[in-house]
Amino acid sequence: MKIIFSPTKKMIQDEDLAPKTTPVFLSKTETLLEKLRGMSAEQLQRMYRCNDKILAENMKRIETMNLHENLSPALFSYSGLAFQHLSATSLCQDELDYLQEHFRILSGFYGVLKPMDGITPYRLEMLSVFPDGSNLYDYWN
């Protein structure tokens, strides 16, 4: 059985627990990051559909983002309602091992994530459309 979650907009960075694996599509994530870095503030705001405060926060995030350092395990990085109810911090090692094999997170930025894949906070929804008209459904197809 596979358990599939969607990511949440709310994220935390907790470096207390080291990630054990690397996202399988990290090279595609690096390509997406470069695409985001090449966009203007207006283009990002249109794509994100956000206010100026959220735009500024995410522009800084994009500018300084490092996909290889200061990472948190994906399971502990999302803080939305479904992840709160999963309560990853209360799971024992056997349960975490089970989730590592059977649980996946479908991310617009990273593609498919395992629970212990190292990630950094980001904002990129699957519904996002880039200025050239491309979208993440086609990208991750």
Give the gyration radius of the chain's Cα atoms: 15
pLDDT in tens, the chain (141 residues): 899 999 988 899 877 889 999 999 999 999 999 999 999 999 999 999 999 999 999 999 999 999 999 999 999 999 999 999 999 999 999 999 999 999 999 999 999 999 999 999 999 999 999 999 999 999 998
Query: Kind of pairing, strands 103-107 and 3-5?
Result: parallel
H or E segment to which residue 27 belongs: helix 26-37
pLDDT number for residue 14: 79
* In contact, 72 and 15? CB cutoff 8 Å: yes
Q: What is the pTM of this model?
A: 0.92
Contacts 24+ apart (CB under 8 A), 48-54: 48/123, 48/128, 50/123, 54/123
pLDDT number for residue 141: 87
Amino acid type, 5: F
